[in-house]
Amino acid sequence: MSCINRRDLALLALRAGTGAVLMAHGTQKLFGWFGGGGLDKTAAAMEHMGFTPGRQSALAAGLGETGGGALLVLGLATPAAGAAAAGAMAGAVSVHAPAGFFAQAGGFEYPAFLGFTAAAIGLAGAGRYSLDHATGHTFDQRWMLALAFTASAVSAAAVVTKRARGQRAGGGERGGEGEAA
């Protein structure tokens, strides 16, 4: 097996694993699957964590995780998929950051890992065993890469900044509980 095939198989495995975890996590938020709260409970948790409006925040996080994860698994529109998932994870990192790095103390280790992994896949591309490759990279162009990551970074920065301002105005830190990542 050539190095190119090994890299492509590794990308497939990484996409499948990361995408499946993100999809499962997102469907907890959207549908209450796998022990999740569903959209209504997630919306209330988002409001409590300082993401307003809560329903739109829950929907955006759930779609970023579920949609981004599904596209990563398929290897379709990989730059947009990686950027969307990374942007969703940036919000989760902001919730967990006050608890430090390590997940066992409630820190941001897990959402940061998912976000960085999704971003890396988006930057690297899906590889040969993907729908991007099968479609001649129709949804995987260089300009799409720049647009997707720029839009995701700007959106995530706006959401996290709005949350931080709301917390300062509200007089304290909320977060670290509920469905953040």
pTM for the model stands at 0.89
The Cβ of residue 29 has, within 10 Å, a number of other Cβ atoms equal to 30
* 111-133 tens-digit pLDDT: 999 999 999 999 999 999 999 99
Cα–Cα distance measured from residue 93 to residue 61, given in angstroms and rounded to the nearest whole number: 12
The DSSP code for 7 is: H
* Helix segments in 37-96, DSSP class H: 38-49, 54-74, 78-96
CA quadruple 53, 56, 57, 58: dihedral sign: positive
139-179 pLDDT, tens digit per residue, is 999 999 999 999 999 999 999 999 999 888 876 544 444 44
Query: Which tens digits make up the pLDDT trace of 35-62?
Result: 999 999 999 999 999 999 999 999 999 9
Q: What is the pLDDT of residue 175?
A: 46
Per-residue pLDDT reduced to its tens digit, 58-115: 999 999 999 999 999 999 999 999 999 999 999 999 999 999 999 999 999 999 999 9
Check residue 169 and give its pLDDT.
Answer: 87
CA distance 94 to 81: 21
